[in-house]
Amino acid sequence: MWQKVQSLYQGILENGDKRTDSWLLVDSPVPISCIFLSYLIIIWVGPKLMANRQPVNLKPVMIVYNFAMVCMSAYMVYEFTASSWLARYSLLCQPVDYSDSPLAMRMARACWWFYFSKVIELIDTIFFILRKKNSQLTFLHVYHHSTMMFNCRAGVKYVAGGQSFLIGLINSLVHVVMYLYYGLAAFGPSMNKYLWWKRYLTSLQLLQFFIVTIHTTYNLYADCDYPDSMNAVVFAYCLSLIALFSNFYYRSYLDKKTKTT
């Protein structure tokens, strides 16, 4: 049994995209798994360590961080758009270009930066803990941040380009808006009057999942040279996020509105 497990693990490592094997956090699942376990330990231990301490004032750090993430997300939007446009990508069916051509490598690098950004975004959770905003450490928050790392690693490891570019493009665009909101909110209560559009940010997040789900559903049934296994994973994952974000939207906006009336 152990030999079979070793054989399966070796097969998973060897069947990836040879272009991205040597890139940071790509070849083996061990490093990202260690990051994930460390993340869970921080979530478990962090609130206990902060229980008898005052919240940490992170205002300058959060302002810089959030606007840096706006710039990073905007860069990825540009790279995904430029690479797909210059390579004449099809929005309906786009196989992965596994060649070493400049455009194929540019798209692969854009996918890697998207993956790496999901590791950086774990800092969001650390900010919550240090500021004692434990109510924001919801299942949705932890689930989304944790699973995106593994999904994006699989994308870079096996399908760095092709249909997967649309996920990175749309999500990066949403994150430009999202981190802009967080960056403005970090200035304090004086900005609240300009942040009336939080509800629409959640709607935008839901919209991206619906778009990706529809796109993936089409590719599951279309004759396209793109792995059905990846489409199936994306489809199931998007359904889970639609359910969780819809529940969050209902509890945050609709349910409260019903109670006040």
Residues sharing a CB contact under 8 Å with residue 234, sequence separation 6 or more, in sequence order:
151, 167, 212, 216
Cα distance between the two ends of the chain: 61
- What's the CA gap between 113 and 102, in Å, rounded? 16
Two structure tokens written together for 245: 């974000």
8 A C-beta contact, residue 142 and residue 102: no
In the residue annotation, 144 being an active-site residue is answered as yes
Q: Which entry of 144, 145, 175, 215 is annotated as an active-site residue?
A: 144
For the annotated catalytic residues, the residue numbers are 144
